[in-house]
Chains A and B, each alone.
Chain A
Amino acid sequence: MMEILKLLLAILATVLIGYSVLQSVLNGREGYTLSEKASLSFGLGIGLVAFEMILFSILGWGFNLTFLALCWLPFFAYALYITVKQSGSGRENKAGASAFKGSKIYKIIFFIMSLQIVSIFLRALSKPIESYDGIINFGIKAKIFLASNAVPLIPEAFEGIGRGHMDYPILIPLIETWIYKFIGSYNDQLVKIIFPLVFVAFIVTFYHATRRFYNRRYALLFSFFLCTVPQIANYATIGYADLTFTFFVTMSFIFLFRYFAEEDNSCLIIASLLSGFSFLAKNEAVSFAFANLVVIAIFILRQKSKLTQIKRVVGCYVIPLVIVTAGWVLIKGKLGFVNTDIDITALTMKRLGENISYIPFFLNKFQQEIFGPKKWNILWILVFSGVILRHRRFREFPGKLIGIFMLVNVVVYFTANMIYMGSNLYFHINTTLSRFMIHFSGVATFMMAYLFWEDLKGLAFFKEGENE
């Protein structure tokens, strides 16, 4: 019982850290509901805690919970000041549940989403960490960090822990360590609560972000799609980093998209922080960060005041991104961890030819993913239908940027597979393609919402406040 209370305290502390920074960044801006702030705060919180733990390790301070928490005190004080000021003036935006009132189908949708979320919590918490990557790339590193009370900066500390990927980023093991420190014991069953919480945060944040562009019913429907994709739900239970990574890259892009529409600097800062945290979660962050920079560059080229935009982007996007990622890059360099799967300097024409010969297999596997409903329901069929039937919507701005963002990522992922240097590309594609597709699922669903809006907005299903 005591362990569970401490676990709740750990979650609360994570949310509060995220909330402190979020409120400071928003600096009194209106239009954010409590659930939106709470879910985004959790996402930001896990990133900030991981960033802080990396920093503490570099400085040789060790993981002292009091010090780790005290560092956020200035942000917390400022956030409290902003919150009190906002509640005094009644500026806090209230959620509008009335949009769903009296609608049977929305009651069903809410019920299914609730059932899905409850099942994910039960499934995740029914087992300790036991999946392959959950152990070898994350769980065992968390054990090392807990025992060392820091990220040990000597490679020998990571000796003899199996043939996992040493260069994999350490956000997940760090958050697991953070939870262990709070609950005061090594309980790798309770620690798995992180993953369903990330799932909930992802769905809620996605709903609110989508709601800003469309109406509530429309946003709920697409959040429902995302929530009920079996593959995404599975990855919220097994202790992998892919869902957390997807949360970061999806929300980073959507906040960037919001910046293109609203030119609000706070969106740019949040997008930057989330993109930075994605580097702490998975190496694939390079692709999404590059795609972000490409769309930012296109956006700047369209602006009259290019210099002002460049200054904004450097100050609010590039600098926070560099600060967040620098610590991990430093640790990786110090430990000498390199990616053994992709090494362009070792690439030969023979190897490239071998990899290219796998393209038919790759395409076959890809079509199985798209048309097979077991993992994805009909998500990708709908996404590709939208792309084919409504491709003209990509000509409009800023919708064009969603298409470019997706295209850049697809090209980078495909190229990375073609220059893959691991032992067996067949095995690699077989085991990772469906996982890679999770990374794209959030932005793809957002893109689908964008493509179909003009067709669907007139349907009675999406008219708010009317009984069905």
Chain B
Amino acid sequence: MHIFKTRLFQICLLIWLVLWVIFFFRENKDGEYKDFFVLAGKNLEGKRAYLMGEGFYGFVNFCSQNTPPEARYKFAGLGPMKIEEVRAIYHLWPRRAVEENFEYIFVYDAKGFSEEGFFMLKDFNGSSYVLKRK
């Protein structure tokens, strides 16, 4: 019985160790190890840009530079509450992302998008721009 328990225990420990090695060294679906080495050479701004995507991060900074801190805005062109929008809301605070009574619309990658009562305040790259209420 003692030998059986010892063997069983050793097998369990071995399985644990093998699985740990596999899942420790295996790259996960988010490409975390690749990210790790890319991010190691970047400063904080560079890391933010990499994580949000260079183009989107540039646009978010553009919105931030062209609107006052108390601005109330909504996004157009982004899916509601996708991680990109959440990261942008975080980055743009104290600007408020609201559903109504907004003065600005941040249009991302949606060429030709317009809304009545709003005019083009600043153009980022033709398909991404800031609209302001007239």
Chain A positions near chain B (C-beta within 8 angstroms): 108, 112, 115-116, 119, 122-123, 126-130, 132, 135-136, 139-140, 143-144, 147, 159-163, 187, 189, 225, 228, 230, 373-374, 377-378, 382, 455-456, 458-461
**B91 CB, min distance to chain A CBs, angstroms:** 9
Q: Contact check, A162 vs B81: say whether CB atoms are below 8 A apart.
A: yes
Enumerate chain A residues within 8 angstroms of B122, measured Cβ to Cβ.
none
Enumerate chain B residues within 8 angstroms of A228, measured Cβ to Cβ.
16, 20
Q: Contact check, A160 vs B96: say whether CB atoms are below 8 A apart.
A: yes
Q: Contact check, A147 vs B16: say whether CB atoms are below 8 A apart.
A: no
Closest B residue to A375 by beta carbon equals B23
**A365 CB, min distance to chain B CBs, angstroms:** 18
Chain B positions near chain A (C-beta within 8 angstroms): 2, 5-6, 9, 12, 15-17, 19-20, 23-24, 32, 35-36, 39-40, 44, 47-48, 51, 72, 81, 83, 85-87, 89-90, 93-98
Q: Contact check, A225 vs B16: say whether CB atoms are below 8 A apart.
A: yes
Give bound CA distance, A189 to B81, whole Å. Answer: 23
Give bound CA distance, A29 to B32, whole Å. Answer: 45
Q: Contact check, A187 vs B44: say whether CB atoms are below 8 A apart.
A: yes
**In the complex, which of the residues A127, A225, A378 contacts B39, with contact meaning CB atoms closer than 8 Å?**
A127
**In the complex, which of the residues A130, A143, A159, A377 contacts B16, with contact meaning CB atoms closer than 8 Å?**
A377
Give bound CA distance, A119 to B28, whole Å. Answer: 14
Enumerate chain B residues within 8 angstroms of A461, measured Cβ to Cβ.
6, 9
Enumerate chain B residues within 8 angstroms of A115, measured Cβ to Cβ.
24
Q: Contact check, A162 vs B89: say whether CB atoms are below 8 A apart.
A: yes
Majority SS at the chain A contact face? helix
Give bound CA distance, A163 to B75, whole Å. Answer: 14
Q: Contact check, B94 vs A147: say whether CB atoms are below 8 A apart.
A: yes
Q: Contact check, A130 vs B9: say whether CB atoms are below 8 A apart.
A: no
How many A-B residue pairs lie within 8 Å, measured between CB atoms?
93
**A197 CB, min distance to chain B CBs, angstroms:** 20
In this complex, which of B5, B36, B89, B95 has the most chain A Cβ atoms within 10 angstroms of its Cβ?
B89
Enumerate chain B residues within 8 angstroms of A139, measured Cβ to Cβ.
90
**In the complex, which of the residues A116, A147, A161, A378 contacts B89, with contact meaning CB atoms closer than 8 Å?**
A161
Enumerate chain B residues within 8 angstroms of A225, measured Cβ to Cβ.
16
**A83 CB, min distance to chain B CBs, angstroms:** 39
- 9 residue pairs, one from A and one from B, having the closest CB atoms: A160-B96, A135-B90, A162-B89, A160-B98, A373-B19, A228-B20, A160-B97, A377-B19, A130-B51
Closest A residue to B83 by beta carbon equals A132
11 A-B residue contacts at CB 8 Å? A115-B24, A128-B51, A130-B87, A161-B97, A162-B85, A225-B16, A373-B23, A377-B16, A378-B19, A456-B5, A456-B9
**B99 CB, min distance to chain A CBs, angstroms:** 9
Give bound CA distance, A373 to B15, whole Å. Answer: 10
Give bound CA distance, A323 to B36, whole Å. Answer: 43
Enumerate chain A residues within 8 angstroms of B85, measured Cβ to Cβ.
162
Give bound CA distance, A228 to B25, whole Å. Answer: 13
Enumerate chain B residues within 8 angstroms of A126, measured Cβ to Cβ.
35-36, 39-40, 47
Give bound CA distance, A459 to B95, whole Å. Answer: 63
Closest B residue to A455 by beta carbon equals B5
Enumerate chain B residues within 8 angstroms of A189, measured Cβ to Cβ.
44, 47
